[in-house]
A and B are shown apart, each in its own frame.
Chain A
């Protein structure tokens, strides 16, 4: 068409064509038009791609499905941007199906629920949320090798690519990166700090990840710091167990050693729910003829003050590196930790899980966390989305509205 001829035709021909049909073309008869994606938030958000781990992916209550995925902060941020955001939706009931009851282990879909039905089909034509539950920083660029920690969801979500490869294929104009939690979380959940990714290694891997992501030539981005994982309600102070024990809240054959009492420690210890309830109390309930005991001074799973300190210092080092990367790129930076600290101080993150009444089923870890006590529930995702949006607005002088406003 004359209007689209970019000079590939000979000039005399173009003149002749214009003479023949010029009136028609000049009359504005150009037909239909491209319908470019015009995000309400601005052109910079035409293609928003989120990298991360379980939180970004929308993992909740020990599982993930198409409902939980759409409740992630990343989806809320995309909504605020007014941009399309295609997800690797997992077919219900999930992969694995999320918990319905944290204490009985009942999951969505019931006892006969399949462990995983894979992705919803057909797949989206593009993928905006490339986050994978369980991904550590090394996994952003690797899906095989000794240091990699892929799981089945790595395949289901990325289909044989790395997160960065998948992100680049989506031609991002704006990215968010929320990686690093899994480099320390395992230590918090198992009490074994030996598996923590050293800060220097983390810094190197994080830089390499962003350098590779830079090849996508995104216009902007936001880096989300690693939250202080010791603040999650999955970890309760040893003293809270001691108090519950004093109030006969446990089976009679489960004991809490005096080492857990608040006055026995120079600083609080932290007991993982998965250890106390998932192993000790579950065993006691299943075998009334035996006794089990929580010992805060001897059990390796219990986080002692030095270990807690190690984790917090590591997180701080990670975040210093992340912040440095953000400022070197003029990208926004967000930290969730101050919010978690405030919520904990306000009592909105319970020190001890609800073990009785309807809340034991509906909100065992309060309103902000899902039924695994680790991953945020929708209200906390909303808070995180608000923080991200605020940081973006401040960095890029945009005016994205908080979700739901």
Chain B
């Protein structure tokens, strides 16, 4: 983070998952076929998919089938996210609302001490809602509200269990809500297109402990580190809170059914840049350090370093850590999805999507502080574009009950040198199950569960020296991460 004329650091964070729902008719399927499908899906999953701080779970129906929905929409309106062209399949007034609860758990294990620090566990709700109505035989219009990007990570910052990575960030959240009016039209009986502009609303909050050792000693050319202050001596908490800011983009899609049993689909969600503006506040944290007698600063022995910082006005108005405005900009990546679905049996539908996410847009995060004496902070992220594969099936067990299962795989977006407490992501594989129940002709309930398994990944809890680029050599331990996801959606049709 920032400080007294020294370095400022900042960043973002963490996890995510996926899915929604569909139509599905069919008949019972032999277990052997299911097994074969599973094997096929596993085999397909080459190292690919969207990740970073993306959230793909924008509908319970699709979530149950592993997030695959570009070619075959669920009729709950969620196609406004998964493929706007699919909205043309909605032939009744439809409203749905639901929530995905994400419960991540993870840890960092230090190479040096072998000690494991756990993420603070909490359940993070991610809501979604869609409303759609047919306008004649060929056109359907609707409004979707969903949250395709976000993250929340919290590590213990104080006490015996304080996490060493708190100096890179310990309690961070990024929330992004897309509001998307959408229209879809059947150009022919087999071809439909859809799309709509979107308004992105985003807020971000970052909390970081500041390290005194990298700060300049007031009135000298020394840093406190040169004066002997130990590495990672916390002296202040920085809170950066940017309230709801806006960005604009669009989501467009295409869907084609070459035969009654096969459908194809594609959609593109444009990148959205959100310029955040907020407040940076700094709160002093006790270092517990006391200057010895005969210290090189010539101050009386027993002078507390905390008092010295106060005396020098570090936190006062006009000081480098005075409360001030802060601005930053983050680009929500674009997503290109291409999918295919096949109905080998009347009651069984199989689908698969390939997802390409333009994470390379997330290259640096620059924090620009309002005061001149607080230098800007640039956090290098250098993310890579990612590929992912989603595959799922839906089987109509009865006329009113659909069962779903899915699997998907993501490659990591962050390079090896940028695996930090802010977003300790890695290659992920996820399994899903779900059920849809048509309680009445007008009311449907969907529930789904997903387990996210991330391959353990080496990462770091320290920043590179000032002026240096992060490298893999800084990695000093292992991040483990996983999550349970639960979703429920209620859909009403008239």
Contact = CB atoms under 8 A, between A and B. Distances in A.
Interface residues of B, number: 64
A155 B432 CA distance: 58
A121 B457 CA distance: 29
B226 A34 contact: no
14 contacts: A4-B107, A4-B456, A20-B407, A20-B432, A25-B453, A29-B455, A31-B455, A121-B226, A122-B225, A123-B229, A124-B231, A145-B301, A150-B301, A152-B294
A158 to B, nearest CB: 6
A175 B295 CA distance: 27
A5 B116 CA distance: 12
A155 B292 contact: yes
Interface in B42-64: 42
Interface of A: 1-5, 8-9, 13, 16-17, 20-21, 24-25, 29-37, 47, 84, 88, 91, 116-127, 143-145, 148, 150-152, 154-161, 166, 169, 171
B163 interface: no
B293 A144 contact: yes
Contacts of A143: 290, 292-293, 301
B397 interface: no
B366 interface: no
Given A116-B296, A155-B296, A9 B105 contact: yes
Interface string B272-300: 00000000000000010111111111000
B224 A34 contact: no
Nearest to A24: B429
B347 interface: no
Given A91-B226, A144-B301, A20 B431 contact: yes
Interface string B470-494: 0000001110111010000000000
Nearest to A23: B42
A121 B225 contact: yes
Nearest to A27: B42
Interface string B191-230: 0000000000000000000000110000000111111111
B246 interface: no
A16 B449 contact: yes
A156 B292 CA distance: 10
B159 interface: no
B433 interface: yes
B458 interface: yes
A17 B294 CA distance: 61
Nearest to B223: A121
B360 interface: no
Nearest to B295: A155
A64 B478 CA distance: 37
Interface string B403-447: 000010000000000000000001101111100000000000000
Contacts of B456: 1, 4, 30-33
Contact of B482 (A5, A119, A144, A160): A5
Contacts of A127: 230
Contact of A160 (B292, B433, B478): B292
Contacts of B292: 143-144, 148, 150, 154-155, 158, 160
Given A20-B432, A122-B231, 15 more contacts: A1-B106, A1-B482, A21-B451, A30-B455, A34-B110, A37-B111, A118-B226, A119-B226, A119-B227, A144-B292, A150-B301, A159-B227, A159-B230, A160-B291, A171-B113
Contact of B465 (A25, A122, A171): A122
Contacts of A159: 213, 224, 227-230, 233, 289
Residue in A121, A155, A159, A171 whose Cβ sees the most chain B Cβ within 10 Å = A159
Residue in A8, A29, A88, A161 whose Cβ sees the most chain B Cβ within 10 Å = A161
Residue in A9, A37, A125 whose Cβ sees the most chain B Cβ within 10 Å = A125
Nearest to B287: A160
A91 to B, nearest CB: 7
B243 interface: no
B289 A160 contact: yes
Nearest to B466: A122
B431 to A, nearest CB: 3
A3 B456 CA distance: 10
B30 interface: no
B94 interface: no
B228 A158 contact: yes
Contacts of A156: 226-228, 296
B451 A123 contact: no
A160 B455 CA distance: 41
Nearest to B459: A32
Nearest to B455: A31
A148 B114 contact: no
A20 B294 contact: no
B478 A34 contact: yes
B109 to A, nearest CB: 5
Residue in B229, B289, B293 whose Cβ sees the most chain A Cβ within 10 Å = B293
B454 A1 contact: yes
A169 B106 CA distance: 25
A123 B230 contact: yes
A16 B228 CA distance: 52
Contacts of A126: 112, 231
B105 A8 contact: yes
B493 to A, nearest CB: 30
B229 A1 contact: no
A57 to B, nearest CB: 13
Contacts of A5: 105, 482
Nearest to B481: A1
Given A152-B295, A159-B289, A160-B292, A34 B477 contact: yes
A88 B231 CA distance: 11
B305 interface: yes
